[in-house]
Amino acid sequence: MYEADIASVLISEDDIRRRTSELAEEVAARYPEGGPDGDLLLIGVLKGAIFFMTDFARALPIPAQMEFMAVSSYGSSTSSSGVVRILKDLDKDIEGRHVLIVEDIIDSGLTLSWLIRNLETRNPASLDVVTLLRKPEATKVEIDVEYIGFDIPNEFVVGYGLDYAERYRDLPYIGTLDPSVYGG
């Protein structure tokens, strides 16, 4: 599937699974089990975080509730515009809740720093972030991220939720995109 467009497998399905359960154990050790309103609240950032969100939630050994927001900064380009739009907001109040944002990737950091500021105004009891991937070289904004799956080189990656022009999200692993695909 998509073979001709993928230059290399950067992170395999096995590596993703292994690291996801490590992160889940780490997170679970830090949050108490709270009962109905005290449960950890995962906020998945659509669409990129879909697969990480569902796998992470199932790897977590403590109860967690799930909500989703959809924001977009990239459009169909390969670099971040810095303009973040809410495409779908939360349906629920997060005041007093322990919130963990679940992201697929921090690239420039613009999406997440915007989202953190936005969610902080809603007065959660705590607010942290778990991201599967981070590109250290591309980070333009300093953000304090507690849980990071993998630091990756500054290459365009797709798969496991990450897209290029809405394609490749359904690849089960993280791969680098052949530059011929985006005319590089």
Q: Token match 């991937």: residue?
A: 133
Q: What share of the chain is helix, strand, coil (3-state, %, to 5)?
A: 25, 30, 40
Q: Which residues pair with 45 in a beta bridge?
A: 69
Strand extents, DSSP E, 60-173: 64-72, 85-88, 98-106, 126-134, 147-151, 157-158
Question: Chain centroid to CA 183: how far?
Answer: 26
Tokens for 162, please give them.
């990450």
Distance of closest approach, residue 74 Cβ to ligand PRP, in angstroms: 3
Instruction: Name the minimum Å distance from CB 147 to Mg ion.
Output: 21
101-140 footprint of Mn ion as x/- string (CB under 5 A): ----------------------------------------
107 in active site? yes
Rule CB under 6 A: choose which of 72, 78, 118, 176 binds ligand PRP.
72
Least distance in angstroms from the C-beta of 33 to Mn ion:
29
**Residues 28-67 close enough to bind ligand PRP by CB under 6 A:** 45-48
Give the nearer residue to ligand PRP in terms of CB position, either 30 or 167: 167
Dist. CA 58–CA 64, nearest whole Å: 9
**Interface region with Mn ion, contact rule CB under 5 A, candidates 46-54, 82-90, 116-124, 149-157:** 46-54
Minimum distance of ligand PRP from residue 177's CB (angstroms): 13
Shortest CA distance to 48 belongs to which of 12, 80, 8, 14? 80
Binding mask 41-80 for Mg ion (x = CB under 5 A): ---------------------------------x------
What DSSP string describes 29-84? HHS----TTTSEEEEEEETTTHHHHHHHHHH-SS-EEEEEEEEES-TTSSS--S--
- 109 vs 124, which CB is nearer to ligand PRP? 109
48 in contact with Mn ion (CB under 5 A): yes
Contacts with Mn ion by CB under 5 A lie at 48
